[in-house]
Amino acid sequence: MLVLPVEDKEAVAMRTSRVEEVMTERVVVGRRDTPFKDIVAALLDNNVSALPIVDDDWKVVGVVSDADLVLKEAEPDPSGEWLVEGSRRRSERRKSRATVAGALMSAPAIVVGPGDTVAEAAATMRRRRIRRLPVVHPETGRLVGIVTRSDLLRVFLRPDAEIRAEVLDGVLRGVLHLDPRAFQVEVTQGILHIRGEVERWSMVDGLVGALLRVEGLVGVEEQLSYRQDDRYQYPAPAF
């Protein structure tokens, strides 16, 4: 993963990792006519859980996962029919009878671009309940890599010193326009410990919220005081 130098204060400000920094460029792929047994062998030999299926132009047309393959064993009656059957059930029954990738794959494939942020990729995985995303070139649509959930976790390997530098220079000074010297800031194992005083009570939540957006931060433990309690201030009645 790309690590920014902590002395470059402008670069440190609000670091955001892109998919291209954490993705795997070597991707094992299949074609529509790849046989069932060859797909199983490719998954096991390469220790991966899914295979992007590409056409002759290396554009992703679908994805075959281990969940698709296991239907061959899990489906007790692939030839049976039900009077009322949902689309998901019909798809599972079809896949349980499939012998090549074109009939096994889930399509269209859910993909991500190399310039998308790690946070965007993580949100897509969570929303679509998937564990990996093919990465495609934004202009050509060709496959350029694949990113998995474990790849996204690499941002949490960011050094504590680099996180601290972003908090001081990127968030406190750069975003919130506060004097970093007014705060005691330490980062240990990705957890930020911050002490200091702000002007108003209402500023505390905003400060913590800004800190939580720092990439690689595991948590925030704050001891922040305030000079003015503005929780119970009401506007003067108008006459």
Judge if 88 and 204 occupy the same domain: no
Cα separation, 98 vs 83, whole angstroms:
22
For residues 89 and 163, membership in a common domain is answered with: no
Torsion of CA 79, 85, 86, 89, to 10 degrees: -20
- Report residues of the chain scoring pLDDT below 70: 1-14, 75-88, 233-239
At 224, list the tokens. 């922040």
Question: pLDDT per residue over 34-46, tens digit each?
Answer: 999 999 999 999 9
Residue 58 lies in a domain: yes
70 lies in which domain range?
17-155
pLDDT score for 235: 63
φ/ψ of residue 200, rounded to 5: -130, 155
The pLDDT value recorded for residue 112 is: 97
Q: The pTM is what?
A: 0.76
**For position 238, what pLDDT does the model report?**
61
Same domain, 140 and 166: no
Examine the domain organization and report whether 147 and 67 are in the same domain.
yes
Those residues whose C-beta lies under 8 Å from the C-beta of residue 21, and which sit 6 or more positions away, are 1, 2, 118
Where among 119, 137, 155 does a domain terminate?
A: 155
For 133-148, write each residue's pLDDT tens digit: 999 999 999 999 999 9
pLDDT reported for residue 4: 31
